[in-house]
């Protein structure tokens, strides 16, 4: 157990040093790519966040009815 925590601490320290040098030595490259990272993140967030509800073509009233019926089932099943 002790060797595992030491390994995790050493890995975190190595990644911190690596991140520091990456940021200081390649700042122009990283900041130059930042707008593209945001543009690529938009579709990813769109896909991930629209999974939680029915998407663009879902009917809000139908979604609400399903949620209410599920709540009713849960209330009756608990006694």
Give the pLDDT of the chain (79 residues) as one tens digit per residue: 578 899 999 999 999 999 999 889 988 888 888 899 999 999 888 888 877 665 556 556 666 666 677 666 666 665 5
**CA dist., res. 60 & res. 53, Å (int):** 9
Give yes or no for a contact between 23 and 30, defined as CB atoms under 8 angstroms apart: yes
- What is the pLDDT at residue 19? 92
Task: For residue 56, give Cα distances in angstroms to 44, 45, 62, 79.
Answer: 16, 15, 13, 37
């Amino acid at each position: 157990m002790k060797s595992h925590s030491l390994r995790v601490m050493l890995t975190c320290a190595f990644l911190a040093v690596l991140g520091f040098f990456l940021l200081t030595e390649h700042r122009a490259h990283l900041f130059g790519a930042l707008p593209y990272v945001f543009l690529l993140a938009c579709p990813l967030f769109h896909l991930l966040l629209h999974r939680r509800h029915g998407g663009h073509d879902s009917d809000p009233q139908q979604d609400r009815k399903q949620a209410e019926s599920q709540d009713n089932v849960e209330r009756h099943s608990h006694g």
